Structure 1
Amino acid sequence: MGSATVIREIRKPEPIPNYVVGERSSETTVVIPSGATGDQIAQILFDAGVVKSARAFFAAATANPQSQGIQPGTYMINTKIPGSEAVLQLLDRDRRSLVLLIKEGERTYEIGESLTQLKFKPREIEVFLNQRVDLPGFGAQRAEGFLFPATYNLTPNENLSQIGRKLLSKFETVVTELDFQAKAQNLGLSPYQALIIASITQSEGFNENDFRKIARVIFNRLEIGMPLQMDSTVLYALKERRIAVTNKDIGIASAYNTYNRKGLPPTPISNPGKAALEATLNPASGSWLYFVTVEPGVTRFTASYKEFLTFKREFQRNLKAGKFGGDS
């Protein structure tokens, strides 16, 4: 029987597409979500143009035991780098941003709680939040109202003074875009008074679509010398967040109690976002003096006290029925 020769093709593994040292380009922002796997991180970096292939990062991460220490977060990383360098940059704490999220309507002390989570010391946070803000046109004021709501990416080396400048810079950018100071003066208000109204509008509104009407109610009450009677100002004084106030609440002795004091409270009661600032400058036309959020997303406005009482009863029914969740 004759013999046969079997020739097997020996295939070399295909090289992994990878950038070489020296090809690095500009930096880009990369977000690594919590719980991301190695495969997912590799794909994120490839999609962002950081590595030439997902395999380049995955192979480098597998070869480097320290890659297990890569943390979720926002990073500034060079594009067009080898997979091994991508691993090293993700392990570099100086490239990882910390995130400070300020929501529309947050109060200054609540922002302080967020800063505590970022490992700043309570005493330095207290000093930071109690510093006077002195912006042109607004005068030297408390920080409340000026810490603009946004998502801020911070580096581990940033101190509170640098963070404060970042927040105020954002505020100045937005009020400049809105021509806030000039438009406030056209309404017969100082810029700071307009900021106070915006903070109340923000705190009272469940829906941005209602902001202009809420601002109009505030203006209408101020024009006729009627107390604002805003629950949000009383709750600010109490440092509480609830849907409604009680008779006991509205009897407190506080400059922020707009039930028994006429005019505006002495300072903003929250840090308003752009929509509330804009609504204050452009209040809706109407004769409303009252409004009630009868259920989440539904706010009714009226100039009639009798109708207002009807709305209040509707609110009480819905509150009792649990439509506002666990809040009371």
Structure 2
Amino acid sequence: MSQSLSYRDAGVDIDAGDQLVENIKPYAKRTLRPEVLGGIGGFGALIEISKKYQEPVLVSGTDGVGTKLKLAFEWNRHDTVGIDLVAMSVNDILVQGAEPLFFLDYFACGKLDVPQATDVIKGIAAGCEQAGCALIGGETAEMPGMYPSGEYDLAGFAVGVVEKSKVITGRSIGPGDVVLGLASNGAHSNGYSLVRKILDLKQPDLDAPFDGERSLRDAVIAPTRIYVKPLLALMQSLPVKGMAHITGGGITENVPRVLPDNVVAQIDAASWALPKLFQWLQSAGNVESHEMYRTFNCGIGMVVIVAAEHADAAVAQLSAAGETVHRLGLIRARQGDEHQTQVA
């Protein structure tokens, strides 16, 4: 063969990858914590456990963004899906009492578009800043032929730490405890296969005024809320018995994950107003209420369970931290094998 081939000829641009790393370094630098010993650029990132922990327990979580990415591609909106990516992992490890320490991302595409990828990873860094964790590394994989032009996939991995004696297990939850709900920003990163189907069927005007100053497009693509800092502060102030991140499976399937077998979370559907986005989705898709509660967060992104004597203080502290808090209901004794979350 007379022609000399290069990796670029095969579809992989090493220079583009190097440029992306340079582009994101200042954003990653803003997320660094004192425990970080080595950041982006090495084969591995080094982080030590703070001496403030006597018996540190590491808590890990991994997730993606799901089919919400299809809307990011279609609408050319790449600046907030990185926040979604971080939120899905840090909110998960938070519910066991863990303070997120660091985050790693995996960005895979067919051909690297440096400005597009920079927007995505800037969003990841913004999410890490919100969560107080360090973006200490990741992987950018350019794989010709694996993805359609302009598309990519994202995965993320978070590690946090909690004192062994303060791991939140939900075992102490009992009848009379209060169930609080923290408002979501929208659909977060779950149920988007159904969201996209409804949008395809109804073909709404996505840019018409919809929810206050937001268009329907903005309401649908709004990033997942990160609850880390206000809830870590709450855990320092009073005993939190259990928490549930309301992701895939909605309220009815996620709350039981933190409940002992002998109790039920009795949730009053009238205790919060269904946000307009979910009203529209339910009406436009003719979705039954039961299906709504097990598919979407329906306006509640995080559930927090505390003893009745601590409920007022918890609501006051979370509200002062900028959260919208609803008293969703109470924990009661379970009767037989009934489902452990009742919404009525």
Highest CA radius of gyration, 1 or 2? 1
Please confirm whether the aligned pair reaches a TM-score higher than 0.5, indicating the same fold: no
TM-score range, shorter chain: under 0.3
Q: TM-score, normalised by structure 1?
A: 0.26
RCO higher in structure (CA 8 A, sep ≥6) = 2
Where is the helix percentage greater, Structure 1 or Structure 2? 1
TM-score by length of 2: 0.25
